[in-house]
Amino acid sequence: MPHVSRVYASLPLTGPAAGLGREVLRGAELALEAAKRPAVEMVALDSFGHDREERAIANARRAADDDETLAYLGDFHSTQVMETAPLLGEAGVLQVAPVATFIGLRGPTLVRLMPHDGVGARAIADWLVEVAVRELLVVHDHDEWYGVPVGAMCVDAARDRGLVVRSRPVWNYDEPPADDIGDAQAVLYVGVAGSGAVGLWRELHAANPAMWLLGSEGVAESWLAGELDPSAAERTRFFVAQRASFGFYGYEAMGLILDAVARGGSDRSAIVRAGRTTRERDSILGRYSIDDQGHTTTTAYGRLAVVGGQLVWDGSRV
């Protein structure tokens, strides 16, 4: 029997994010099948649980303790990667996180395939300039890990592009949003879409039907799109790091891992070095390199419109 080494994949295979997690996993499976590497097997572990961070930590420890482990594909959520990156870094295991976007993720063995939230903030600012918005109101939720810091990034990026920008936390139920819009030509909501998102969109659109209603990645939800009136939908855009099916990111994560293994052999440190020094890689996601922080150099960012109650890729110029 030939010697078999392992790549562990830690992804949500049950729970609310199972559909997306399984997309990533199927992409990774296809890449492994296409590579025809019988000496490498993938071990898929479910990262969903009541405490998803603890579940991810258990998965990372299993991979780190396995002498046959060559690499780790995951985790899915940024909060999980924050916990598993130190463990895998200490074990010297290459970690490729296919879809995590939090700017603060770090680790000596970590590689990330989606652009971080700072890239997204600059993409939003660039689009606002393109559509001739001069004044922006940034509204963020109270999440200290996402809404607050990413909202601040969006403020800074827009100001750098010459916009007049105000920022505030999301309105309370007894605060009429219309009273605080002022001369804003666009409102950008940075956070996670909660039960009040539909009502907020309706109030803002009623206050100024010509105003752009923008949302960050956490607001790009199909259920919200389905509830928007056609006129509000026409003025709505969502900005996301994703630019293709999640399966593409799983495919590329496994492809990068297998190429790093081909260059590094069975030496974990050599595999990490190969993965972290990726340069000008032509991939299913386009050409990119990995910088010294383990981030992709890709700056292309996704933008979604709402058409017929559905989220669709926005290819328009305005």
Range of the domain at 24: 5-115+244-288
**70, 212: one domain:** no
**141, 233: one domain:** yes
- With a CB cutoff of 8 Å and minimum separation 6, the contacts of 106 are 85, 293, 294
Q: What are 68's two structure tokens?
A: 């046959």
Whether 297 is covered by a domain: the verdict is no
pLDDT (tens place) for every residue of the chain, 318 residues total: 456 799 999 999 999 999 999 999 999 999 999 998 778 999 999 999 999 999 999 999 999 999 999 999 999 999 999 999 999 999 999 999 999 999 999 999 999 999 999 999 999 999 999 999 999 999 999 999 899 999 999 999 999 999 999 999 999 888 889 889 999 999 999 999 988 999 999 999 999 999 999 999 999 999 999 999 999 999 999 999 999 899 999 999 999 999 999 999 999 999 999 999 999 999 999 999 999 999 999 999 999 999 999 999 997 644
Q: How many domains is the chain partitioned into structurally?
A: 2
**31, 79: one domain:** yes
**81, 225: one domain:** no
**138, 200: one domain:** yes
How many CA within 13 A on the CB side of residue 102? 22
Which of 208, 240, 272 finishes a domain?
240
**91, 147: one domain:** no
Whether 282 is covered by a domain: the verdict is yes
Which of 178, 212, 240 finishes a domain?
240
Residue 45 backbone phi and psi in degrees, to 5: -120, 140
**121, 223: one domain:** yes
CATH number at residue 13: 3.40.50.2300
**152, 106: one domain:** no
pLDDT attached to residue 1: 44
